[in-house]
Amino acid sequence: MLQLSFISNNKETVVKGLEKRHFEKARNTIELILDLDQERKANQARLDEVLHDLNSISRQIGLLMKEGKKDEAENVKQETTRLKEVSRRLKEQQEVTNQKLETLLYQVPNIPYSEVPEGRSAENNEVVIQKGEFPQLPENAKPHWELIKDYDIIDFDLGIKITGAGFPVYKGQGARLQRALINFFLDEAQAAGYIEVQPPIVINEASGYGTGQLPDKDGQMYHIPEENFYLIPTAEVPITNLYRDVILEEKDLPVRHVGYTPCFRREAGSWGSHVRGLNRLHQFDKVEIVRIEHPDNSYKVLKEMCAYVEGLLEKLELPYRKLNLCAGDLGFTSAQTFDMEVYSAAQEKWLEVSSVSNFETFQANRLKLRFRPGQDEKPQLLHTLNGSALALPRIMAALIENNQTPEGIRIPKALRIYTGFDLIRQ
């Protein structure tokens, strides 16, 4: 959430940033926020005056009672009754104004970083780099949704039987490969200095608001109405919320965490080749890296996180490209995002496998996540960042398709110590 003080002091910057995102009625929304803020301040000033008068009259009544002037005291008490009613109405009005203001602020996305390109949709994203050679597949090459049946490693029909579409069952060597990827990603993150945590996969409403999934992604999350809990869409949510309402010391920075969790998303898309097989699921596994950084360092760290994810893709021997998302394709909370896509040779298309984002103070403001620069200095908001390192389904899809051979599906060297085999055979 954007800070109200930042909006007030940088109105034109905020409006232009929101217009770059193609946020509807950007100027009207910001002006309404600032009008409500002025109304809030005026209400508070009037309320402070009334409360001050009440305190003064209370002292006056006390003095009159001590002096034995009961009749005068009773007359003055009538004024306190009137002022208390005025105070009550002002407090009610202030609650309404605050609620309107908060609701509007929750609806305003982050403003893009200066290096975010213009554009409305994914078609306008900027390709920063592309690395790796496309594999030469056999003439009878198949997409992964056919290969997984041939090798009996992932079963979508069983998932439909147990739950529904978008909930696959991993079997045999497929389950081993899935577990190998998770362990590989966790070990790589630990070696890079990330501290592993295993968070809950169910969150409360405050956690959803804290990282910005609520109210923006309310319809995309699985909701448990009895407890008002949500299944997590990504490990970013519980891991970042570890630091909700926390003030860190500057010496505690940076904070670096990695976590593996299942992830759940209701909207898996319509039927078609772009959502077939593992391309888009309701439940999937992902390893997430999360950073909490000093504001001066966050964009340097964003580049470091991208380089780390690129290193994973290179070790998996997958051709990939890095995209700088345009303003219109940015997530609600992000100031800048780089997507990593791997090339799926059998599908002849690029598949997104990671998003690495800097949220600047947007999440920290909601979380009240701050640091103290010095012992006597006022706490300041931190910057939060995260990245998929990596999401498994499309990595699995690309590995299965790109490594198909007449003998079987080849396992990249980096994973063989984890799988215990170098080939998936029929």
- Rounded to 5 degrees, φ, ψ at 198 are -120, 95
| Structural contact between residues 224 and 202, judged by C-beta atoms closer than 8 angstroms | yes
Give the span between the Cα atoms of 281 and 156, in whole angstroms: 11
Run of H or E residues at 321: strand 320-324
User: What does DSSP assign to residue 135?
Assistant: P
Query: Tell me, what's the pLDDT at 161?
Result: 97
| Structural contact between residues 332 and 349, judged by C-beta atoms closer than 8 angstroms | no
Residue 207 annotated in ligand binding: no
Residue 146 annotated in ligand binding: no
| Structural contact between residues 195 and 256, judged by C-beta atoms closer than 8 angstroms | yes
Give the span between the Cα atoms of 325 and 338, in whole angstroms: 6
| Structural contact between residues 279 and 240, judged by C-beta atoms closer than 8 angstroms | no
For tokens 């978008």, the residue is 166
Residue 352 annotated in ligand binding: yes
Query: Tell me, what's the pLDDT at 392?
Result: 98
Query: Tell me, what's the pLDDT at 58?
Result: 78
Give the span between the Cα atoms of 426 and 419, in whole angstroms: 16
| Structural contact between residues 385 and 295, judged by C-beta atoms closer than 8 angstroms | no
Three-state SS at 319: coil
Report CA-CA distances (Å) from 230 to 160, 212, 217, 263, 362.
Answer: 22, 13, 11, 11, 21
Give the pTM.
0.93
Q: Which domains does the chain have, with CATH numbers?
A: 4-107 (1.10.287.40), 122-424 (3.30.930.10)
Residue 188 annotated in ligand binding: no
Give the span between the Cα atoms of 94 and 289, in whole angstroms: 41
- Rounded to 5 degrees, φ, ψ at 122 are -60, -25
Residues 6+ apart with CB under 8 A from 53: 83
Residue 234 annotated in ligand binding: yes
Query: Tell me, what's the pLDDT at 271?
Result: 47
pLDDT tens for the chain, residues 1 to 426: 999 999 999 999 999 999 999 999 999 999 999 999 999 999 999 999 999 988 888 788 777 677 777 667 667 677 888 888 999 999 999 999 999 999 999 999 999 999 999 999 999 999 999 999 999 999 899 999 999 999 999 999 999 999 999 999 999 999 999 999 999 999 999 999 999 999 999 999 999 999 999 998 888 999 999 999 999 999 999 999 999 999 999 999 999 999 999 999 997 554 455 678 999 999 999 999 999 999 999 999 999 999 999 999 999 999 999 999 999 999 999 999 999 999 999 999 999 999 999 999 999 999 999 999 877 889 999 999 999 999 999 999 999 999 999 999 999 999 999 999 999 999
Residue 416 annotated in ligand binding: no
DSSP bridge partners of 231:
202
Give the span between the Cα atoms of 412 and 403, in whole angstroms: 8
Three-state SS at 323: strand
Number of Cβ within 10 Å of residue 23's Cβ equals: 20
| Structural contact between residues 260 and 287, judged by C-beta atoms closer than 8 angstroms | yes
Selection from 223, 185, 184, 181 nearest residue 204 by Cα? 223
User: What does DSSP assign to residue 111?
Assistant: P
95 token code pair? 């609650």
Pairing of the two strands 349-358 and 336-344: antiparallel
Three-state SS at 329: helix
305 token code pair? 């996180």
Residue 87 annotated in ligand binding: no
What does R_g of the chain's alpha carbons equal in angstroms?
27
Residue 212 gets the label, from left (phi > 0), alpha (psi -120 to 50) or beta, of left
Residue 407 annotated in ligand binding: no
| Structural contact between residues 196 and 290, judged by C-beta atoms closer than 8 angstroms | no
Selection from 341, 345, 304 nearest residue 325 by Cα? 341
